[in-house]
């Protein structure tokens, strides 16, 4: 019988030296992979931590800006500004609720006032000038405390010299008195028609929140600094972000 012929294509077995080389290469690949994986994990963790720190810093920055005190006498707590619907100097109704989204500097005065009122309005005109482009986001509103003499036409002539950004309104005597009282302001008229009142300015933020009161001693720069801060705040951060009450 013929012996079976062994296949010529049978591969030779690997030598011990080759086995050692393969093991060395595999170990190197494993080491390289583990090292790269470790550094990629460290890099990813660093990126996540960095982003978290940026978010935390931004959030804290917004909170610190919100905690910064105003120059004016702040209301603590701040309260929703009492709304009104009066007759504007242009002959149309003027509503405080219609000014939502705008910071309002509210002032109670009258056109026959020869000293205090012109001085206050001039100071507020300087406030608007110092705000630059942000002045379009601020409205000065003068409510007349002399409704028997101040007609819309007279009010219009009175505020025109102070430039854009000024409005005036008038209501009925009792309505005006009640509105002033809601802002803790009182006034009285003597026999000569002169009205004794304190020339205060009330700051209402864009969300309709009464935030501060400005006495005559505060400068235009101090008031404009407060407005710069208020205008940087998002509406949602206002203590009265839910809006104005029904007048």
Residue where the block lists tokens 């405080």: 96
Asked whether residue 52 carries a pLDDT value surpassing 50, the answer given is: no
What mean pLDDT, rounded, does the chain reach? 81
What is the SS3 assignment for 113?
coil
- Mean per-residue pLDDT, 37-47: 55
Q: Write down the pTM of the prediction.
A: 0.71
- Whole-number pLDDT of residue 114: 87
How many beta carbons lie within 10 A of that of residue 17, not counting itself?
Answer: 7
Pick the CATH number of 73-237 from 3.40.30.10, 3.20.20.70, 2.60.40.1120, 3.30.70.270: 3.40.30.10
Cα–Cα distances (Å) from 47 to 36, 109, 154, in that order, read 16, 58, 65
Cβ 70 vs Cβ 157: under 8 Å: no
Which of 153, 138, 29, 38 is closest to 87 using CA atoms?
153
Asked whether residue 44 carries a pLDDT value surpassing 70, the answer given is: no
Number of alpha helices (DSSP H) and beta strands (DSSP E) in the chain: 5, 10
Q: Which long-range contacts (CB under 8 A, 24 or more apart) does 177-180 make?
A: 179/82, 179/84, 179/143, 180/108, 180/143, 180/145
């Amino acid at each position: 019988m013929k012996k079976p012929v062994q296949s010529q294509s049978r591969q030779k077995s690997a030598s011990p030296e080759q086995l050692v080389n393969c093991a060395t290469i595999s170990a190197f690949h494993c080491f390289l992979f583990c090292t790269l994986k470790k550094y990629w994990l460290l890099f990813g963790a660093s990126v996540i931590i960095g982003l978290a720190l940026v978010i935390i810093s931004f959030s804290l920055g917004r909170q610190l800006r919100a905690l910064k005190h105003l120059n004016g006498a702040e209301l603590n707590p701040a309260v929703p500004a009492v709304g009104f619907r009066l007759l504007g100097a242009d002959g149309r109704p003027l509503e405080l609720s219609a000014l939502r989204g705008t910071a309002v500097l509210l002032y109670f005065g009258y056109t026959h006032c020869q000293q205090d009122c012109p001085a206050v309005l001039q100071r507020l005109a300087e406030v608007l000038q110092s705000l630059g482009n942000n002045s379009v986001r601020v409205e000065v509103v003068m409510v007349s405390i002399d409704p028997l003499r101040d007609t819309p036409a007279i009010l219009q002539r009175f505020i025109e010299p102070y430039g854009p950004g000024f409005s005036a309104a008038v209501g009925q005597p009792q309505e005006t008195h009640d509105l002033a009282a809601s802002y803790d302001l009182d006034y009285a008229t003597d026999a000569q028609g002169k009205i004794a009142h304190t020339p205060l300015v009330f700051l209402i933020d864009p969300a309709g929140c009464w935030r501060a009161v400005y006495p005559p001693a505060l400068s235009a720069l101090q008031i404009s600094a407060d407005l710069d801060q208020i205008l940087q705040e998002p509406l949602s951060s206002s203590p009265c972000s839910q809006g104005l009450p029904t007048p």
